[in-house]
């Protein structure tokens, strides 16, 4: 099942850029920061960037934006690569790292100092905040702004040598402290951080800011279209300033689109981390989390996630997609792609009083698609059905097994219930029934056809299993707006059923390999 790419403003823009030969081949990138697991929002960004490259015969890079070493780790780097691949995409060439460009970025910072477009500033963080002004008031020039080129060069080189303490000084661009756009008020380019980095070790005691690194990384890699989310719109003038004032090899074009928000879902890494750290869920790959790893464990097909990302569309206005759209895409995909197996959650023993021999049944693996083939199940005199599938009495809306009535066992015979045993509390403990057909799939000869079909397992061959039934993690449609996120957690989001009995063939089933047919 695939969805046709629909027209959207990104596709229109790229098409126009290719037709006008402004660019000769599309190059996009997905630039995650390796400080958490990817989530559904990232899946949207991945499907946009890799999807566009696929559609227009271009390339997409995977680049780790690793300028913040304290929060990053190899665990996240590994999981992100696995998730992108699992979603069905492959990046062009090797995985890339912002940290691989640290030397180039350092040289460009020196270049800006030489051009009198950057200076080392010794204001403390608090003073700098004060000098920065507000949305309604312009900022004031730092007293260090007119420092000589030589002095800034010397101080910056010594920052790089690790001579100064964290927070002692920063390198800033010299743009305009009166700019209405706060991002242009002499933004920070480099900070001192005596932190070890997962890629560069202890080589660098200074790190570029995201703003100084990001656009230049795109320029180095020849990214033609830097697609990002709307919160970076206000940063675009700054990125353009850098590209204009630095000898970069290439000019990327930034286009913003609205983030994907989904109802009943949290897609903030900080909040997801809180759920993991406070053990509300079992880990980053808990099936209730909207992380790609969680969705994968929950059994969501990658194709269904891609389908959802396409179906919600790509626009420049913020909106929230209904999570039911995702759930419905998952059901549609699984309905077509999943081989069927039987399991009973709360077993109720059924004894077939007139079955002379165990029957070997050939049961179809898919109700509609014969290509899934069939499997053999044996049906003896002792079976389990689900407790909920039996009632002593019921009206005609209950289409399952009722005393004195008939039901079809999926893939097997038609049976009629004669009597049942009960325990001291009045709970039914066993049902005695008769087979009223002898050929699997056939209708009773007396013409009294059963209305319903129920599932079952053989009491002799079924295997006990623990079933985890997952529901939405939050009981409210907009959990991100809750004051107390923890109070919004659905207490029934995980129900563990340890009484289940499953078909023997399910024992070695895995989400990756499925079941052996
Ligand atoms: P968070 O807001 O959870 O910290 P982030 O956006 O900072 O996430 P990054 O690792 O920087 O996380 O994201 C990598 C890419 O994914 C960025 O280009 C970002 O714009 C995009 N992205 C993140 N969340 C969403 C979302 N909800 N919808 C679309 N794109 C997203
Ligand atoms: Mg980010």
Token pair recorded at residue 497: 């059923």
357 domain-assigned: yes
Measured distance CA(225)–CA(384) in Å, rounded = 59
Ligand 1 within 6 A of CB of 41? yes
Model pLDDT for residues 62-106, shown as the tens digit of each residue: 999 999 999 999 999 999 999 999 999 999 999 999 999 999 999
Strand pairing category for 320-321 and 406-409: unpaired
Q: Residues 106, 210: one domain?
A: yes
Q: Which domain holds residue 64?
A: 9-262
pLDDT at 179 over 60: yes
Average pLDDT over every residue of 188-202: 97
Is 497 part of any domain? no
Q: What string of DSSP letters covers 223-261?
A: -SEEEEEGGGGGGHHHHHHHHHHS--S---EEEEEPPPE
What are the pLDDT digits (tens) for 339-387? 999 999 999 999 999 998 999 999 999 999 999 999 999 999 999 999 9
Q: Select which of 33, 382, 478, 482 is catalytic.
A: 33
Q: Is residue 267 part of a domain?
A: no
477 domain-assigned: no
Q: Where are the alpha helices (DSSP H) in 188-322?
A: 210-220, 236-245, 269-277, 292-298, 302-311
HSE of 431 in the Cβ direction (CA atoms, 13 Å)? Answer: 27
Locate 286 and state its tokens. Answer: 């808990």
Q: Which ligand is nearest to the CA of 64?
A: 1
Give the up-direction half-sphere exposure of residue 386: CA atoms within 13 A in the CB hemisphere.
14
Q: Which residue has the tokens 């049906």?
A: 379
- Closest ligand 1 atom, CA of 260? 28
- Atom number in ligand 1 closest to CA 267: 3
CATH number at residue 102: 3.40.50.620
User: How far apart, in whole angstroms, are the C-alpha atoms of residue 485 and residue 479?
Assistant: 6
Active site residue 269: yes
The answer as to whether 456 is a domain residue is yes
* pLDDT tier at 7, thresholds 50, 70, 90: confident
The enclosing domain of 425 has a CATH number of 2.40.240.10
Cut 0.85: pTM above it: yes
Give residue 197's pLDDT: 96
The domain tally of the chain equals 2
Residue 314 lies in a domain: no
Strands (E), 144-194: 170-173, 188-192
Q: What is the mean pLDDT of residues 455-462?
A: 97
Spatial separation of the C-alpha atoms in residues 477 and 497, rounded to whole Å:
27
Whether residue 34 is found in the same domain as residue 144 = yes
Do both 372 and 245 map to the same domain? no
- Ligand 1 pocket residue status of 269, Cβ below 6 Å: yes
Q: Where are the beta strands (DSSP E) in 325-413?
A: 343-344, 347-352, 359-364, 374-379, 382-386, 390-391, 401-402, 406-409
How far, in Å, from the CA of 153 to the mean position of ligand 2?
30
Q: Which ligand is nearest to the CA of 49?
A: 1
Domain for residue 24, yes or no?
A: yes
**290 in contact with ligand 1, CB cutoff 6 A:** no
CB of 314 closer than 6 angstroms to any ligand 1 atom: no
Q: In Å, what is the CA distance from 100 to each residue of 64, 195, 214, 217?
A: 10, 17, 13, 10
| 219 shares its domain with 124 | yes
Residue that finishes a domain, picked among 431, 461, 491: 461
Q: Cα(189)–Cα(182) distance, rounded to whole angstroms?
A: 15
Q: Do the bridges between strand 406-409 and strand 414-422 make them parallel or antiparallel, or are there none, so unpaired? A: antiparallel
pLDDT at 516 (0 to 100): 57
Q: Helices 302-311 and 40-55, interaxial angle, to 10°?
A: 80
Q: What is the DSSP string of 101-123?
A: GHHHHHHHHHHHHHTTSEEEE--
349 is catalytic: no
Instruction: Say how far apart CA 455 and CA 401 lie, in whole Å.
Output: 11
The preferred substitution site among 32, 47, 67, 225 for testing ligand 1, maximizing ligand atoms within 8 Å of CB, is 32
Could you say which ligand is closest to the alpha carbon of residue 32? 1
pLDDT band of residue 45 (cuts 50, 70, 90) is very high
Q: How far, in Å, CA of 392 to CA of 356, rounded?
A: 26
Alpha-carbon span 389 to 126, nearest angstrom:
68
Q: What is the mean pLDDT of residues 379-405?
A: 96
From ligand 1's centre to the CA of 284, what distance in Å? Answer: 17
From the CA of 269, give the closest atom in ligand 1. 3
Exactly one of 160, 169, 174, 269 is catalytic; name it. 269
Catalytic residue among 11, 140, 145, 259: 259
* Residues 85 and 185 grouped into a single domain: yes
Whether residues 225 and 87 fall in one domain: yes
The residue among 236, 262, 288 that closes a domain is: 262
Q: Is there a catalytic annotation at residue 44?
A: no
Q: From ligand 1's centre to the CA of 268, what distance in Å?
A: 8
316 compared with 516, residue with greater pLDDT: 316
Q: Which atom of ligand 1 is nearest to the CA of 31?
A: 14
CA separation (Å) from 109 to 70, 115, 167, 202, 330?
22, 10, 18, 20, 49
Cβ–ligand 1 distance for 260 under 6 Å, the answer yes
How many whole angstroms from 356 Cα to the centroid of ligand 1?
Answer: 64
pLDDT tens digits, 307-350: 999 999 999 999 899 999 999 999 999 999 999 999 999 999 99
Give me the residues paired with residue 171 across strands: 120, 190
Where among 241, 262, 283 does a domain terminate? 262
- What residue's CA is closest to ligand 1, atom 7? 33
Residue 170 located in a structural domain: yes
Q: Is the CB of 183 within 6 Å of ligand 1?
A: no
Token pair for 101: 């460009």
Which ligand 1 atom is the nearest neighbour of the CA of 38?
Answer: 10
């Amino acid at each position: 099942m695939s969805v046709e790419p629909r027209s959207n403003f990104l596709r229109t823009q790229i098409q126009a850029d290719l037709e006008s030969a402004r660019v000769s081949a599309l190059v996009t990138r997905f630039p995650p920061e390796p400080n958490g697991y990817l989530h559904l929002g990232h899946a949207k960004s991945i499907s946009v960037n890799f999807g566009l490259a696929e559609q227009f015969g271009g390339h997409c890079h995977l680049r780790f934006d690793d300028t913040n070493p304290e929060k990053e780790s190899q665990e996240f780097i590994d999981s992100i690569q696995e998730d992108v691949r699992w979603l069905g995409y492959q990046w062009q060439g090797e995985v890339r790292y912002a940290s691989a460009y640290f030397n180039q970025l350092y040289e460009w910072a020196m270049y800006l100092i030489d051009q009198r477009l950057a200076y080392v500033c010794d204001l403390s963080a608090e003073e700098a905040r004060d000098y920065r002004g507000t949305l309604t008031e312009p900022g004031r020039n730092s007293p260090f702004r007119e420092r000589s080129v030589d002095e800034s060069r010397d101080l910056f080189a010594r920052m790089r040598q690790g001579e100064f303490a964290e927070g002692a000084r920063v390198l800033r661009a010299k743009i305009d402290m009166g700019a209405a756009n706060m991002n242009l008020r002499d933004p920070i380019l480099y900070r001192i951080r005596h932190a070890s980095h997962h890629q560069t070790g202890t080589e660098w005691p200074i790190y570029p800011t995201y703003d100084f690194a990001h656009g230049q990384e795109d320029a180095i890699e020849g990214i033609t279209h830097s697609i990002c989310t709307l919160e970076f719109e206000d940063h675009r003038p700054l990125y353009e300033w850098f590209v204009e004032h630095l000898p970069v090899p290439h000019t990327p074009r930034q286009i913003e689109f609205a983030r994907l928000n989904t109802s009943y879902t949290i897609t903030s890494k900080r909040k997801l981390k809180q759920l993991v750290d406070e053990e509300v869920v079992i880990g980053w790959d808990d099936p209730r989390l909207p992380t790609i790893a969680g969705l994968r464990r929950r059994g969501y097909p990658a194709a269904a996630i891609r389908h959802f990302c396409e179906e919600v569309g790509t626009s420049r206005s913020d909106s929230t997609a209904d999570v039911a759209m995702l759930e419905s895409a998952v059901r549609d995909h699984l309905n077509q792609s999943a081989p069927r197996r039987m399991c009973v959650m709360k077993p109720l023993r059924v004894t077939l009083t007139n079955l002379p021999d165990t029957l070997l049944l050939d049961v179809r693996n898919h109700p509609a698609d014969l290509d899934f083939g069939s499997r053999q199940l044996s049906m003896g005199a002792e079976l389990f059905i689900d407790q909920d599938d039996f009632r002593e009495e019921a009206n005609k809306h209950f289409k399952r097994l009722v005393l004195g009535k008939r039901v079809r066992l999926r893939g097997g015979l038609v049976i009629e219930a004669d009597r049942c045993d009960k325990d001291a509390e009045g709970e039914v403990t066993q049902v005695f029934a008769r087979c009223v057909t002898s050929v699997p799939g056939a209708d009773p000869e007396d013409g009294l056809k059963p209305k319903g079909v129920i599932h079952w397992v053989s009491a002799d061959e079924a295997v006990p299993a623990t079933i985890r039934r997952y529901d939405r993690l939050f009981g409210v449609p907009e959990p991100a707006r809750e004051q107390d996120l923890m109070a919004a957690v659905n207490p029934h989001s995980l129900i563990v059923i340890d009484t289940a009995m499953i078909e023997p063939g399910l024992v070695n089933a895995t989400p990756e390999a499925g079941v052996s047919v």
